[in-house]
Amino acid sequence: MSRIGKAPIAVPSGVSITVSDKNLVTVKGPKGELTQQVDSDITVKQEEGNIIVSRPTEQKRHKALHGLYRALINNMVVGVTEGYKTVQELVGVGYRASNTGNTLELALGFSHPVVIVLPEEVKVTTTAEKGKNPTITLESIDKQLIGQVAAKIRSLRKPEPYKGKGVKFQGEVLRRKAGKSAKK
């Protein structure tokens, strides 16, 4: 049996979950509202302050969907209560980030600034302290969306293995290469 799928999801106070006839799960909480369409084979029930996700058979497909939808619903519950936060660093001389509202402007060593318009569900803040790398902080209630936006920003200038220049996640460990050695 799916270890993730069989674990019940605890519903904190202040969060309401509704399951419609067509298996559309809606989670409302203090930070917002999220919806997720669940496969018709998977059943979602609410029992005594917990959400139970179950599957009809032991087929490989049903096992995979069982764990998937349980994890997605749990991510929705965590998102509307606590939210998600991602911090990225810009490593490199002259690399800068600034934002006005949900428009992010990056200077990444190209001949032009890179401008990204972020979705309204994602809130962005930038910091630039002297002696430290500029940082971009993304906050959202949707885990999938914040991960997709962070991956898009990182893809603009991935960290290179020699000096480590580029956009990287805070705490990310890069595999470094030695480079050329001097001839004798």
Which of 5-19, 35-49, 142-156 is the most confident on average? 142-156
Same domain, 89 and 47: no
Where is the domain boundary, 44, 60, 81? 81
- For residues 109 and 63, membership in a common domain is answered with no
CB 161 within 8 A of CB 175: yes
Average pLDDT, whole number, for the chain? 92
Tens digits of residue pLDDT in 132-177: 999 999 999 999 999 999 999 999 999 999 999 999 999 999 999 9
Q: How far apart are CA 157 and CA 2, in angstroms?
A: 38
Residues 46 and 114 grouped into a single domain:
no
Judge whether 71 and 3 are in contact, CB under 8 Å: no
Q: What is the pLDDT of residue 171?
A: 92
Contact in structure between 36 and 75 (CB atoms under 8 Å): no
pLDDT of residue 142: 96
Say whether pLDDT at 49 is over 90. Answer: no
**42 secondary structure, DSSP code:** S
Select the more confidently predicted residue: 49 or 112: 112
Q: What confidence score (pLDDT) does residue 180 get?
A: 83
Among 64, 81, 98, identify where a domain stops: 81
Domain coverage including residue 143: 84-169
Is 56's pLDDT higher than 70? yes
Last residue of a domain, one of 39, 56, 81: 81
Q: What is the pLDDT of residues 76-121, one digit of tens each?
A: 999 999 999 999 999 999 999 999 999 999 999 999 999 999 999 9
Kindly report the pTM of this predicted structure.
Answer: 0.88
Q: Domain total for the chain?
A: 2
Q: 46 and 118, same structural domain?
A: no
In a domain, 13, yes or no: yes
CA 137, 81, 140: angle at the middle one, nearest 5? Answer: 25
Q: What is the CATH number of the domain that holds 163?
A: 3.90.930.12
> Is 184 a member of any domain?
no
pLDDT band at 4 (very low <50, low <70, confident <90, very high): confident
Same-domain check for residues 71 and 121: no
Same domain? 74 vs 92? no
Any domain includes 175: no
So what's the pLDDT on residue 1? 45
Same domain, 72 and 116: no
Considering the domain architecture, whether residues 101 and 35 belong to the same structural domain is answered as no
